[in-house]
Amino acid sequence: MEKRLLQIKDVVLLQHPFIFLFVLALSFIVMDPFELSPVGGHDFKPVKNDIAPYKQVMGSWPWDNLSRLGQGNLEFKDDIFGPESLEFDNLGRGPYAGLADGRVVRWMGQDLGWETFATVTRNWSEELCAQGVDSTTKKQWTVESKCGRPLGLRFDRKSGNLYIADAYYGLLVVGPKGGLATPLATEADDKPILFANDLDIHHNGSIFFTDTSKRYNRVNHFFILVEGEATGRLLRYDPLTKTTHVVLEHLAFPNGVQLSKDHSFLLFTETTNCRIIKYFLEGPKSGKTEVVANLPGFPDNIRINENGDFWVAIDCCRTPMQEMFIHHPWLRSVYFRLPIPMRYLARFAGMRMYTMIALLNDKGKIVEVLEDKKGDVMKLVSEVKEVNGKLWIGTVAHNQIATLPYPLQSH
Ligand SMILES: *[C@@H]1O[C@H](CO)[C@@H](O)[C@H](O)[C@H]1NC(C)=O
Ligand SMILES: *[C@@H]1O[C@H](CO)[C@@H](O)[C@H](O)[C@H]1NC(C)=O
Ligand SMILES: *[C@@H]1O[C@H](CO)[C@@H](O)[C@H](O)[C@H]1NC(C)=O
């Protein structure tokens, strides 16, 4: 039986050179001996994700068909480079922003413009790191780990110190006058913090922050998404003992962190799984987690407003093709080994991103959704900060900040 089958196969392959070539090409692709594919040189191991069903999430989402985020304004165009996180100090000065060139900068008003407020490494220099509008392009990738990439910013309201989650330098702090930041945490549980992403400060001084992956750094973040790997952690730095503790692990791209108004729980985003998770700090569920919202796209930072509601920045949307990939890791194994640049592979997979922001209450109920379906204002969004009737919207990939009066003025 075996033998006959083999003979049939041989005959088929020889009589149909096309099939033979196809099989050969396929094995070439899968083995990628010359590392031509985007995953070449990486230990690429796609796994299944724990993600809510596509149809269910997309079907029940309250879409903003008026695309009202398109009413926003673009500010500081080409004068600020990939401002992922935005913050204001105790005196209301700012925004402060963490840039793609490794600096934390502060807006000093029309006359003075942006000034450098802090750096995360002694090695930061203008010659090496400051590439202007090119900082948000591939050109920065080779120097990014040397220059730093501050992704999460928070002022401690009591001390006026600024805490920074930097993708390469971990958790750091800098005084109210700025300068070179001091590292606080670079490893946890004997594992280096490979990709610190965001933080928030508990009123007892503890700092909760995310370490997105143990396997890929920020430059390689796309692999975390397509592989679906879940080696991310939620960490807690204790300032009294100067120690860092693992709070949660096995997370799939943990990203933004936000404590609730009364600090009885925190929310964090899990980007790969398109969802927001609640971690209870008090009460009967203390130490437990719960999914509070499944989103139609990939969430980044999350920030509370005066009412205690949460703004989440979402790169939208999930696609049917992605759904198929999620359920069949082997498909990703083949597809992302095609010797074609990642941006084309991503586009073929339907991953054309646009911006959505959503406001959730403390029960996880969506109370507002604003979209920019045509990508007029922003194609990629990283954080929404509501301050005095205005939304400040950061982006990791573009050279601008978007703003929008909120609540929206009706026309
Ligand atoms: C928005 O558009 C979708 C799809 O076109 C439709 O199903 C939905 O009912 C619309 N929602 C509103 C509030 O008009
Ligand atoms: C600064 O650069 C030197 C030389 O490349 C390197 O050995 C050192 O580790 C760097 N220091 C920091 C804090 O990154
Ligand atoms: C601060 O609060 C966190 C969260 O409840 C807790 O894990 C930590 O032990 C507290 N730290 C102190 C010093 O009480």
Segment 138-166, tens digit of pLDDT: 999 999 999 999 999 999 999 999 999 99
**Is the pLDDT reported for residue 249 higher than 70?**
yes
- Degrees (nearest 5) of the Cα angle 345, 271, 86? 110
Edge-to-edge strand order for the sheet containing 114-119?
86-87, 96-98, 103-107, 114-119, 179-180
Domain ranges of the chain: 49-405
Predicted pLDDT at 22: 60
Q: What is the dihedral of CA 15, 21, 27, 31, to 10 degrees?
A: 150
* CB of 210 shorter than 6 A to ligand 2: no
Measuring from atom 8 of ligand 1, which residue has the nearest CA? 63
Q: Tell how far the Cα of 223 is from the centroid of ligand 1, in angstroms.
A: 33
Q: Tell how far the Cα of 167 is from the centroid of ligand 3, in angstroms.
A: 25
Domain 49-405 in CATH: superfamily?
A: TolB, C-terminal domain (2.120.10.30)
Q: Which ligand is nearest to the CA of 234?
A: 3
Q: Tell how far the Cα of 107 is from the centroid of ligand 2, in angstroms.
A: 29
pTM for the full predicted model = 0.90
Predicted pLDDT at 30: 58
Predicted pLDDT at 31: 59
**Is the pLDDT reported for residue 326 higher than 90?**
no
Taking the C-alpha atoms of residue 74 and residue 338, their distance in angstroms, rounded to an integer, is 37
Beta strand 254-259 with 232-238 is unpaired
**Is the pLDDT reported for residue 2 higher than 50?**
no
- Partners of 372 in the β-ladder: 355
48-104 pLDDT, tens per residue? 888 999 999 999 999 999 999 989 999 999 999 999 999 999 999 999 999 999 999
Edge-to-edge strand order for the sheet containing 265-270?
254-259, 265-270, 275-280, 289-294
Q: Which ligand is nearest to the CA of 183?
A: 2
**Is the pLDDT reported for residue 12 higher than 60?**
no
Give the chain's count of helices (H) and strands (E). 9, 27
* CB of 202 shorter than 6 A to ligand 3: yes
* CB of 247 shorter than 6 A to ligand 3: no
Letter for the amino acid at 208? F
Q: Tell how far the Cα of 132 is from the centroid of ligand 2, in angstroms.
A: 23
Q: Which ligand is nearest to the CA of 148?
A: 2
